Structures are given as C-alpha cells and as structure tokens.
Amino acid sequence: MAAQIFSAIFVIIIGVGGCVAYFWGANKLLDLVFPSRGVSGTAAVDNLRRQGLVRPWLFVGPAMIILTIYLIYPVIETLRLSFLDRGGENFVGLANYEWAFGDHDFRNSILNNILWLAVVPAACTFLGLIIAVLTDKIWWGTIAKSLIFLPLAISFVGASVIWKFIYEYRGEGQVQIGLLNAIIQYFGGQPQVWISLPFWNNFFLMVILIWIQTGFAMVILSSALRGIPEETLEAAVIDGANPFQIFWKIMVPQIWGTIAVVWTTITILVLKVFDIVLTMTNGQWNSQVLANLMFDWMFRGGGDFGRGATIAIIIMIAVIPIMVWNIRQANKETGGH
Amino acid sequence: MAASTGKSFVSRFGVHIAVLVFVVIWTIPTLGILVSSLRDKDQIIASGWWNSFASSSQTEAGRLPAASAQTQKDGKYVIEGNVFGDGAKRDISAFGVKAAAPTQYKAGTAADLGDGVTLQVNADGSFVLASPKAFEGDRGQRVYYASSAPPKFTTENYDAVLFSEGIGRSFMNSLTVTIPATIIPILIAAFAAYALAWMRFPGRALLIAVIIGLLVVPLQMSLIPLLKLYNGVGTFFGVPSKTYLGIWLAHTGFGLPFAIYLLRSYIAGLPREIMESARIDGASDFEIFVKIVLPLSFPVLASFAIFQFLWVWNDLLVAMVFLGTAPDQIVLTAKLNALLGSRGGNWEILTTSAFITIIVPLIVFFSLQRYFVRGLLAGSVKGG
C-alpha cells in the first residue's frame, strides 16, 4: 500500500511536471526554431507569423490527442463494432439491431428508459423550481438549500445503499427496520418488498435519482429566478395577480430557457443511468435499463462486443438531438465573439 | 421576493412548513445511515434507527444446560444458571418454551411445563429449572425470552469495516485514483481553453463545436473500444491491462470536454485590455497565459477541480471497466457494490461503509460549496 501511495504521488509529479515541461519546452523550441529577436526586421516578422501559426496547436495539441483517443475514436469504433459479431471480427450487417428489437430484455429496457425519461427530468425540474421559489422567501432559505443540495455530492452507489435501507423489508412478525415499511405498518398497511414489485419498482429506483438531482435543478433555477426583473413582479402584484398566477404566468415564462437547460441536462443523465439499477436490482424484476444492459453484455459470457456496442449506439442516438441543439446554441452565442 | 411581502401570517407560515417538509425528506435518508452506522449491530436489526434512543427489545432463543448440569436440592432435580451465560446481560421481560408463544410467562414467575417440571426465569437472566424426576438426555430445554437493552452507540462498526472488510484499503485506492485524475486534466485543459478563447487559428470554431458535442457523448460509447484498446496494449507490451495509469488517463479523457468548455467560457470573459497591454509590452502568448490568465482563472480552476474530484470519487462504471476487483485496486464505490452482494443483510457493515464512501465528498462539498455552485452555473446555464 505504501508503494501505491508513493506511485500515486510520483504520478502526480510526473504528470504535472510532464505537462509543464511539455508546454514550456515546446514553447522554447518554437522560439529557437523561429527566432523573433536578434534577427533582421523582415525575418523577425516572418518568424513571428510562423510562430503564430504553430503555437495554437502546441496549446491545444495534448488535449486534442487525448480527446481523439478517449472519445472521438471510440465513437467511430463503437459504431463499427455494432455491425460486427461478438468478438468484433465478422461483419454481420444489422443482425445486432435485429436481435435488439426482438429481445425481451432490450424492449423492457427501452420501455423502462422511456418511463425514467418521462418522470425523472420532470420531477426534478418541478420540485427544484418549487423549492427554489419557496426558499427565496424565508430567512433560512440558504441553509435549507444547502441541505437539499447535499445529495448531489453523494455517489449513486452510496445513495442506493441509503435508499435500500429505507426500502428494507423484513418478514412478517419481525420488526420493520426499513423506514418505508415501518410507516406503512404503522398505518396498518402490509409491508412490501418494494424493489421487486414489477413495474412499480422502477419508481422506487427513480426516487433515488430525483433525490440526488433536485438540488441541481434547484440551484440553477434559483439563480435564474434572481435574474427576473423585479418590476415585472411588482407590476403583477399591482394588477392583483395571486401568487399562483405570478408563478405560472410571470416567473416560469421568463426562465423558460433555463428550465430547458436543466431538463436536457437531467435527460442526458437519465439516459446513462447505470449505478442505481446495478446496485438496487441489477435489472431483475423487470427494472432493466439500457446502460446496465450494455454493461451486462460487455462482460456476459466473456463479453459480446457487437451487442454491447449496439446498445451504446441506441443511447447515443437518443442524445444526438440534444447535442445538435447545444452546438447550435453555442454557435449563436460565440458568433458575435 | 417582492411578491410575497404583505402576505398573511398563514401563508408565510405555510412556506416555512413546506420548506421544512422538503428539508426533512431530503435529509432523513442520509441521517438514517449515519445513525445506524453508530449503533450496535444487534440493535440495528432489533429496532428501527429512528427508535435508537429508546431501549430496544428483541425476542431471542437459547437452550438451557443439558441433564449433566443438574444437581439435587430438597429432593428435586434442579438446573440453575443464567440464560445469558457469560455474555452481556440484558433485561428480560417475559419468557416461554414454545416458539409459537415466546413471551407466554412474565419474568420472575414460575412456569409449569407439565409433569411437575417448573421453570423460572428472572429479569436478570438467572433461571431455575426444577423437576421431581431426574433430567435425561444431552439436549437442554429450549427457552425463548424477550429482552430489552439500553441504547448502545459504538464505533465498533467503523473498526470492523475499515480494517477487516477492506474498506480502509479501498479508501486509499479511491484516493490513488482520484487525486491524479483530478490534477492532470487541469493544466491540459487550461492551455487548450486559452488557445480556443484568445488565439486565432483555422479550425478553431470547428474545434469548439466538437468539444461542445463531446460534452454530451455518453460514456458508454467509449467503453468497449477502450477496453479492447487497453487489452491490446496490455498484450502487446506484456503488461496488465487494468492499471492505475489506465484509469487516470481515462478519467482525464472523459473530463476534458467539460474542463475545456468551462475554462474557455471563463477565460474568454477576462478583460481584453489586460491581454492587449501585456502583448504591447512584448509578452508572448505563453507568458500571458502563465503570468496573467492562470492566476486570474483560479476560481474556475477550483470549480473544475471540485467537479472532477466528486465525479471521479463517485464513479462506479469507469472503475468497474478499467480497474480490477482485487484488494489492491478495488475503489470504494465498487467495494460498496460488492458488499451489497456479499453482505446484503448486514446493515451495520453496509451503512458504515456507505457513510465512509460519502464522507469525503460531503466534506469537500460543504467546505467548497461556493466554487461548486459557481461551476455548476457556468457549466450549465451558458451551456444552453
């Protein structure tokens, strides 16, 4: 273990030192190859121009290499693999896609993912918005926000343990130590094994993600609400609008753009949801989702890369519209820059 | 908000109550595992954690000593002792001899077991089993009793989990993964961000668009090709394919689009005059970056560092694909996931392990919340 700590520290030094050495060294080298000082006027101008052509690539070079290896090449390779067999050797055309749409687990995962997409972003945004509005009105709002924000720092696995403890079921006649079953029993209900109730178990898993992500929505929306011009609210009050009208007709329309951002951010997260399902049910009792199914196929029986890649592509296809929209928005913003 | 001023007492009171309800719902789950992790392991299953300050009662079963322990007293055959043996003493409220009626008799009373046999179990656990005939057989009488124990809090669970369940080792592994994977991307991203914000070169707009596109590419797209690549590299050079170096680089790659995006939008917003006056003074881009941009960008570098730290520390997927599950590599999240499988019902282990995995993010989060929120706002609102 000592060796491990030592190697970690060593890597930090090597990594950071290497980066510094690269950027400093490459820069020095450029100055040596195309000197701008101590040469005649025209040569200096020429060399400065050449430096200007090369230097940006020295700056973005390392990032581009890493991005290419870790993201751009894999995207292309995954697409290619989705047309190959399990070992990635023989071309099988659309067989993997045909398999996917005929497979029970896959269809179940798609349906569950749609269910997640329908519920989680909406619930997070809605709850986040309500909490943002309410906490803005009270003196201890900052503390309240901190506490609601807190689950965002907790890992999905940690959150799963936390909620598994709440859903814990113990046989009849035993003391229920899970909070949910204890409450149900207190009110005379029948304790249940919540995470194995087909269909409904999806919602019990979604609660975990909602619990984590509401804080995110709340913080973003709260800052957007602060940006609403005070005059519009005052005018509404003078016109005799009630709080609900102010909320729905004055506040919400003005922060529509931010709501869309929060919604899409959580949507992307939901498409990739993996840890929660893996740790809570591992896809049993009809709770499978695409990301967990993919992980399953990556390693099942030595791994089926063709099918795994196909599932990844399906997730990617769902993300593409958001990606295009993001790039368009960014182009609009930087267009004037 | 101006809109709320002048509202009635009732509606303001309602807001307080509503926020309180939200806060309670959002905090109770975490509180549950914190309290449970500090409880005695027998008490965790004996009562809900919300009752942990009350005495917990539970029904237990034991077997009295066999016939060989009997003595003769006043013409009767008697077996005496304590149901708790040498173990910790608890208060007994009732006892019984049938599983169907474990609390049939009150403590301190003598139960008639038929054939003149009587059994008395006292509140302190001492018992007297008496019979007119000699006891036979080498199996003692079965006895059930309801006992209650005072609330007991302990740090034993932490000892057990850290040192014998391997969580301590995993904690070190998580640190080993997280710290380099947080620091390495910062410098690489900062240089790229500066170039994209302040240097003119062909293809810049395209690069920015690619990076914004990569922001949302699901991690899943990268897993299989990288797994193949790592296996290939491992075989080619005869080295293991699951290494810390591999996961550091993977996290660097996955974190870069966000890092470049976040830093670029901040660096692009720095005042143009500072850059230009430095340039007129003869400073090169490299000098401007190192002497002006880096120091001014400290807040956004801190924001990114917190993000990346939390993301790497909390990650399960990348760790499961690129690291092994042996004790020298398994990180906290993966270990916790493994414990959920192997120690499913041992809540003292699960709650304690879970709390250890979340304590570092919580500390980072609370102490640096300002930077975290700033990064969140810059990263998503402008991300449009």
Of residues A11, A70, A311, nearest to B254 (C-beta) = A70
Contact list, B7 vs chain A (CB under 8 Å): 243
Helices (H) and strands (E) in chain A, counts: 16, 0
Mean pLDDT of B307-314: 92
Instruction: Return the higher-pLDDT residue of A39 and A232.
Output: A232
**CB distance B221–A23 less than 8 Å?**
no
- Tens digits of residue pLDDT in B204-249: 889 999 998 998 899 989 999 999 999 999 899 988 888 888 999 9
Query: Among the listed ranges A45-49, B155-159, B241-245, which one has the minimum average pLDDT value?
Result: A45-49
Residues 92-121 of A with CB under 8 A from B: none
Please state, in angstroms and rounded to a whole number, the distance separating the CA atoms of residues A326 and B9.
Answer: 45
Q: How far is CA A30 from CA A44, A47, B192, B276, in A?
A: 13, 10, 17, 22
| pTM exceeds 0.90 | no
Q: Number of C-alpha atoms within 13 angstroms, CB side, residue A221?
A: 31
Please state, in angstroms and rounded to a whole number, the distance separating the CA atoms of residues A288 and A282.
Answer: 7
Bridge partners of residue B130, in order along the sequence = B78, B118
Please state, in angstroms and rounded to a whole number, the distance separating the CA atoms of residues B252 and A19.
Answer: 13
Put simply, whether B207 touches A (Cβ < 8 Å) is yes
Residue type, B54: A
Domain B159-380 part of CATH 3.40.50.2300 = no
Q: How far is CA A260 from CA A216, A264, A317, B166, in A?
A: 14, 6, 19, 44
Whether pLDDT at A336 is above 60: no
Query: Among the listed ranges A52-56, B147-151, B332-336, which one has the minimum average pLDDT value?
Result: B147-151
**CB distance A161–B340 less than 8 Å?**
yes
Contact list, B225 vs chain A (CB under 8 Å): 73-74, 77-78, 81
Mean pLDDT of B37-43: 85
Please state, in angstroms and rounded to a whole number, the distance separating the CA atoms of residues B27 and B6.
Answer: 31
Q: Is A136 helix (H, G, I), strand (E, B) or coil?
A: coil
Interface A-B, measured as beta-carbon pairs within 8 A, has a size of 361
- Tens digits of residue pLDDT in B126-137: 888 888 888 877
Contact list, B211 vs chain A (CB under 8 Å): 67
Put simply, whether A314 touches B (Cβ < 8 Å) is no
- Tens digits of residue pLDDT in B245-295: 899 999 999 999 999 999 998 898 888 888 888 888 888 888 888 888 899
Contacts of A238 (CB under 8 A, 6+ apart): none
Please state, in angstroms and rounded to a whole number, the distance separating the CA atoms of residues B63 and B81.
Answer: 11
Residues 160-199 of A with CB under 8 A from B: 160-166, 168, 170, 175-179, 182
- What is the pLDDT confidence band of residue B380, given thresholds at 50, 70 and 90? low
pLDDT score of B367:
87
pLDDT score of A88:
79
Put simply, whether B294 touches A (Cβ < 8 Å) is no
State the ipTM, two decimals.
Answer: 0.89
- Degrees, nearest 5: CA angle B29-B26-B28: 35
**Extents of the domains making up chain B:** 2-52, 56-149, 159-380
**Extents of the domains making up chain A:** 2-81, 100-335
Contact list, A4 vs chain B (CB under 8 Å): 172-173, 176, 244, 328
pLDDT score of B27:
93
Kind and range of the H or E run holding B71? strand B71-73
The tokens describing B322, both together, are 């690129």
In percent, the amount of chain A with pLDDT more than 90 equals 36
Domain A100-335 part of CATH 1.10.3720.10 = yes
- What is the pLDDT confidence band of residue A207, given thresholds at 50, 70 and 90? very high
pLDDT score of B176:
86
pLDDT score of B17:
92
Closest chain A C-alpha to B375 CA, distance in angstroms? 11
- Tens digits of residue pLDDT in A241-288: 888 888 888 888 888 888 988 998 899 999 988 999 999 988 888 899
Of residues B33, B192, B268, nearest to A59 (C-beta) = B192
Kind and range of the H or E run holding B127? strand B126-131
Q: Is B200 helix (H, G, I), strand (E, B) or coil?
A: coil
- What is the pLDDT confidence band of residue A17, given thresholds at 50, 70 and 90? confident
